[in-house]
Amino acid sequence: MLIGLISDIHGNLASLTRVLADMESAGAQRVICLGDVVGYGPYPGECLDLVRRCGAVLMGNHEEALLFGAENFNPRAKRAIDWTRDHLRSAGDEETRRKRWEILQNLQMHAQDGPFLFTHASPRQPTREYVMPRDTTNPVKMQEIFALISHICFVGHTHIPGVFLPDLTFTPPTKLWGGTYFVEPGEKALINIGSVGQPRDGDPRACYCLLDTDPSAPRVVFRRIEYDIEETAVAIEANPHLDNYLADRLRLGR
């Protein structure tokens, strides 16, 4: 089966639309969303409408903040999530609002497909722990995380795609042959699928993954997709509740 994996959409409708179209063209039979559909971006409701088609939608830290409060967020992020909450309470007709809140109130912390585990941030802390490339210099942290992984775990959260292995290495997609990670039998890996709506690895293109679960040759393909960045950036700048810095991040991919 070919599974499309998306994460960290952050209200970026232009990006999500392009990614879903590319995924369909590639023949994805199922889609799993690893969370953070909302936050930062100008179109949270429309993005929630689109992810309703996903086979599973997981809880991200921005959904958690929307539902339970954003006390630990920085001022820009808190202002954005407070606006998002108010917007989802008022935008659209009653049925539209009901369906959007229904998605938010039924988010999962994890999903499993055979040997593959999916969560937003980390198997140790599903919504909040950051696992960064620099953590390869922290063997205790990485050993504790890999102790919770039986085979392959997919995450988002940092917006930085790549593959962590138990030997304390991190490999970005640009260093993988054809942007593809070939899954070895019995091997453990923590794979960050990157961000659809706010990449932070220096490449402003949307990032997502295709997981081919064929038991004879399982593999993960990292995909980068061009989209109309200005469409989203201009909408952010036109919204008085969203910081212009969030538009600049999209243009820079950082």
Q: Do residues 213 and 172 lie in contact, with contact meaning Cβ atoms separated by under 8 Å? A: no
- Domain definitions of the chain by residue range: 2-252
pLDDT attached to residue 71: 81
pTM of the model: 0.96
User: How much helix, strand and coil, in percent to the nearest 5, is found in the chain?
Assistant: 35, 20, 40
Q: What is the pLDDT along the chain (254 residues), one digit of tens a residue?
A: 999 999 999 999 999 999 999 999 999 999 999 999 999 999 999 999 999 989 999 999 999 999 999 888 999 999 999 999 999 999 989 999 999 999 999 999 999 999 999 999 999 999 999 999 999 999 999 999 999 999 999 999 999 999 999 999 999 999 999 999 999 888 999 999 999 999 999 999 999 999 999 988 899 999 999 999 999 999 999 999 999 999 999 999 99
Q: List CB contacts of 57: < 8 A, sequence separation 6 or more.
A: 32, 33, 35, 37, 51, 103, 107, 108
Any idea which fold 2-252 has? Purple Acid Phosphatase; chain A, domain 2 (3.60.21)
